[in-house]
Amino acid sequence: MLTMQFLVTGILTGGIYALVAVSIVLIYKATRIFNFAVGEMLALGGYFCYSFVVWGGLPLWISLPGALVMAVIVGALVERLVLRPLLSQPLLTIIMATLALSVLLKGIMLMVWTGYDVGFPKNLLPGKTVLVGMIAMSHELLWAFGITLVAFAGLAYFFMKTRTGLKMRGVSEDHELSMACGVNIVTIFAVTWMLAAVMGTLAGFLMGYRLALAPSYTPLLALKAFPAVIFGGLESIPGALIGGLLIGVIEGLVGGLIDPNLGEVSAYILLLLVLIFKPEGLFGLKRIERV
The binder of another protein chosen from 11, 20, 64, 183 (CB under 8 A): 183
Rounded to a whole number of angstroms, the minimum distance from the CB of residue 182 to another protein is 4
Work out which of 89, 184, 216, 261 binds another protein, going by CB under 8 A.
184
Question: Which of 187, 214, 232, 190 lies closest to 19, judged by CA?
Answer: 232
Tell me phi and psi for residue 12, to 5 degrees. Answer: -65, -40
Minimum gap (Å) between residue 50 Cβ and another protein: 33
Q: What x-and-dash track marks residues 117-156 binding another protein by CB under 8 A?
A: ----------------------------------------
User: Of residues 130, 181, 258, 273, which one binds another protein by CB under 8 A?
Assistant: 181
Q: How many residues are listed for the chain in this entry?
A: 291
Q: Report the site for another protein in 1-30 (rule: CB under 8 A).
A: none
DSSP per-residue string spanning 100-153:
HHHHHHHHHHHHHH-SS-B---TTSS----EEETTEEE-HHHHHHHHHHHHHHH
Largest CA distance in the chain: 62
Give the integer Cα–Cα distance in Å for 203 and 42. 6
Q: Which span (66-74, 96-104, 117-125, 161-169) binds another protein, by CB under 8 A?
A: 161-169
Cα distance between residue 202 and residue 18, in whole Å: 11
Among 177, 257, 258, 272, binds another protein (CB under 8 A): 177
Please state the closest distance from residue 180 (CB atom) to another protein, in A: 6
Q: Is 167 in the site for another protein (CB under 8 A)?
A: yes
Using CB under 8 A, pick the residue from 81, 136, 150, 179 that binds another protein. 179
One-letter identity of residue 204: G
170: contact with another protein by CB under 8 A: yes
Q: Rounded to whole angstroms, how far apart are CA atoms 193 and 154?
A: 16
**Residues 168-196 as b or e (16 or more Cβ within 10 Å = b):** bebbbeebeebeeeebebeebbbbbbbbb
Contact string (CB under 8 A) for another protein, positions 36-75, x = contact: ----------------------------------------
User: Does residue 161 interact with another protein by CB under 8 A?
Assistant: yes
Is 163 a binder of another protein (CB under 8 A)? yes
Q: Which helix (H) or strand (E) holds 135?
A: strand 135-137
Angle at CA 20, nearest 5°, toward 272 and 37? 85
Q: How far is the CB of 83 from another protein (least distance, A)?
A: 16
Q: Which residues are near another protein by CB under 8 A? A: 157, 161-163, 166-167, 170, 173-174, 176-186
